[in-house]
Structure 1
């Protein structure tokens, strides 16, 4: 995952009230981890193009900044007595968050109930163990009265970015839902039905030259989409299943600077997921190597990514991805990531063994394309972000 703060803004065209949850920017380190009838929007926090956060109030006024993650389906916060492996800071509080937060859940909060259940979730190479609680969860005026979530007692491999994760995937892959039989997805917990089983994500680019804290970095609209955040047509691809937001990429090709198209459709077994909780676009290793050869990229185990010449950032040469005959263009300012004095490619390797169960379209894609997660119609849509 990459790190970025955002605002969660509950936007409505069918209700008179608009619910807004503000997020902010922060700088951070790179890591990979690698849901009534109303429409709501929430601003996101952009933390240097690496993670997007939303502030969530749990119980009696406990505020946590949670990574917004469409690649998982559970909500957890850091719990008391949390432990990590030696040399791992995943259980340490994140002192770079711009607003004071609870950081660690007060499990003695009278509004919370301990469900006496535990669960384990794996996020790529990271993992979390948590006790399951239930209680009120508030998104700046928008409240779920009895939402099940985790209080983590063991976290490894996530780093100390934020105070936990807010998963926006399906109930079918939620460990909380499996353990408790309760609705653990935002969709189901809100009782959204029919065409309102939809949300859109807008992930802004980070302004590295004019970085300041407390700047809106994006938006999530739940129960509808925000037409002001994209331009041009929406193109849709069908979902493969109601688990991850997964779609078929068997026709995917790549070209750069007038090059002949390179076939990428075999990556991830021909499937990919859309994941706001992951920073880059991850492909099978051999294909990631070939894509980055156009940039002269050298893979670095230190960064877990390809280091490239920073000249590419201002090259204005687009990367063109073609899927089912539709061309999607990523600008150089989107696929080149300045970081600690070097520049990294937005395309990276996905698996330690060279292969993975699916490819991953992370924030590098999501900052260029407004993404629509449409459960009702079983599809995912992309439109050029403004």
Structure 2
């Protein structure tokens, strides 16, 4: 009888703890695709990407002092966002989930009335939350168009049925220029590691793992490349969804647990190997494929691109179907991109449609694989085992 009561108590406890039954927490991704990106936005995306990784003269990513600088570009129709709530009772926010940064921040109710980015999004009101705890420290993150700054706080953060207690986050009181004015997200959920976080604050997913809210310390992304605001894909906390990919995941170890950084074995264009043994970073917070200088020039030349003064390469829209497959070799496996994956149709300044290469210049010796790649390949971010996995998206 005593054993039966113990088992019954354990079962009840298991029902109250989401991770006990191996429950997966699904966060729908909204894909803002209401209009075609403009050429100006495409250029802004590249500038923001370079600022995000603080690229200076080919500096090695593993030796960079991270956390102080990150940039999110105003990509409009090239960004994925999903819901969270902060406080008690919960205050809702639509957020960008970014594996290329590690801080959580939202606009504050104390943000200036003159700040358009704050005023156009929901703002966190600390006085309306019974679980709010002031921190006192200031935070600032440098962006390409200004500095986002404010104060740190602690509060309850809810994502789906997961409730994270005492999470430290930023209350933004000053947001830069027009960077976030037209975005479909109010703030950022950084999903990188603590090593790149401002003030070395524990990122939200680390807190989920520490509080035993997930059965596995793994999250995974399924991004639809032709989605709408209602059907943009899914972020899964606690594991992977085998119905969202084909075959099995190819896992490779992280080479540095700050960004989600790993070894890229090689790169092929039309069957010819043009690069070997590079470092790469998987970044859901950018749309582009950022290449080192040598590969950038070779790839765009092989695609027949015409260089512009803005480091863009124009492609012939009528010849897209004749372009080669570009294959990334990771963990000994081949992950190919077709022309429809790496060619971006954008609105030119005169209103016409032009085609641009998604391969942009990274003035450093590593790759950034953004949504162009992650949208094609289901990606599992395994923080517990310090590894990342890829498989063809279903």
User: TM tier, shorter chain?
Assistant: 0.7 to 0.9
Tell me the equivalent position of 2:95: 66
Counterparts of 2:323 and 2:359 in 1: how far apart (Å)? Answer: 17
Indicate whether 1:22 and 2:28 are aligned.
Answer: yes
Q: Unaligned regions of 5+ residues in structure 2, if any? A: 1-17, 53-74, 348-352
Residues 141-156 of structure 1 correspond to what in structure 2 (within 5 A)?
141-156=161-176
Aligned partner of 2:78 among 25, 50, 58: 50
Tell me the equivalent position of 1:8: none
Indicate whether 1:252 and 2:260 are aligned.
Answer: no
TM-align CA RMSD = 3.2
* Contact 1:295 1:309 survives alignment (8 Å): no
Tell me the CA shift for residue 365 of structure 1. 0.8
Tell me the CA shift for residue 349 of structure 1. 1.0
Tell me the equivalent position of 1:113: 133
TM-score normalised by structure 2 residue count: 0.74
The one-character-per-residue Cα deviations of 1:60-103 (angstroms, maximum 9, x if unpaired) are 3422111110011111112345479x9xx883555xxxxxxx52
* Contact 2:254 2:261 survives alignment (8 Å): yes
Residues 310-321 of structure 1 correspond to what in structure 2 (within 5 A)?
310-315=317-322, 317-321=324-328
Change (3 A) 1:126 1:283: farther
Indicate whether 1:342 and 2:359 are aligned.
Answer: no
Change (3 A) 1:234 1:383: same
Tell me the CA shift for residue 248 of structure 1. 2.1
Of structures 1 and 2, the larger Rg is shown by 2
Change (3 A) 1:372 1:21: closer
Residues 125-164 of structure 1 correspond to what in structure 2 (within 5 A)?
127-156=147-176, 158-160=179-181, 161=183, 162-164=185-187
Residues 135-284 of structure 1 correspond to what in structure 2 (within 5 A)?
135-156=155-176, 158-160=179-181, 161=183, 162-178=185-201, 183-190=202-209, 191-192=211-212, 196-206=216-226, 213-249=228-264, 251-256=265-270, 258=271, 260-263=272-275, 265=277, 270-284=278-292
Tell me the CA shift for residue 234 of structure 1. 1.8
State how many pairs are aligned.
332
Q: Unaligned regions of 5+ residues in structure 1, if any? A: 1-11, 35-46, 95-101, 208-212
Q: What secondary structure sits across from 2:340 in the alignment?
A: helix
Moved more, 22-31 or 53-62: 22-31
Counterparts of 1:305 and 1:130 in 2: how far apart (Å)? Answer: 35
Q: What secondary structure sits across from 2:126 in the alignment?
A: coil
TM-score normalised by structure 1 residue count: 0.75
